Amino acid sequence: MMQKKVDLQDELDQIRANFQYEFMAIALVEPAEFDYLIKWKYVSGNLNDRYKQVVLRSGKGVPGIVFKTGKPMFIPSVAECIEADSLFNYPIINFEKLTSLVAVPLWNDQRVAGVLLGGFRGEQQATKQHLQDLLDLARSGIGELNGKELTTS
């Protein structure tokens, strides 16, 4: 039986258009020898290809923190929420000149398998509604990631 392969790039482009983000990306987790490596695999609305060079460990950068904690990250204003001298810890914010963003964990079979990030570059700021919309979207599943989170029932 042939399985229908979902095109995550097309899906991401569509999500970005629907929610009107200037930049959107999906980072996926790859098991490594002693840790997990997180890489941006799919992007939409990017300024350049520098995201391809970014390889983060669990707990580092936006995707690493979301992956490690399993909790979303909401940064309505990069200028107000992140100290200028620690911006180097967030390469995607620098490379894509993001001024505001939300990032949510992408769950698959009770494990965080990736991170979905939506961001803005201009005056528009991410809102709690943007966060809720992405959380709802992630829970419904994206691509082959089924959105199933650990339940306590």
Tens digit of each residue's pLDDT, the chain (153 residues): 444 456 889 999 999 999 999 999 999 988 777 777 899 999 999 999 999 998 888 888 999 999 999 999 999 999 999 998 999 999 999 999 999 999 999 998 888 999 999 999 998 999 999 999 999 999 998 888 888 876 554
What is residue 1's predicted lDDT score, i.e. its pLDDT?
Answer: 41
What is residue 144's predicted lDDT score, i.e. its pLDDT?
Answer: 82
What is residue 142's predicted lDDT score, i.e. its pLDDT?
Answer: 87
Cα separations (Å) of 115 from 4, 10, 29? 22, 17, 8
Q: Which residue, 76, 144, 145, 62, is CA-closest to 104?
A: 62
What is residue 149's predicted lDDT score, i.e. its pLDDT?
Answer: 78
- Cα separation of 139 and 115, whole Å? 12
Cα separations (Å) of 78 from 5, 12, 40, 149? 36, 23, 20, 28
3-state secondary structure of 103: strand
What is residue 73's predicted lDDT score, i.e. its pLDDT?
Answer: 96
What is residue 30's predicted lDDT score, i.e. its pLDDT?
Answer: 83
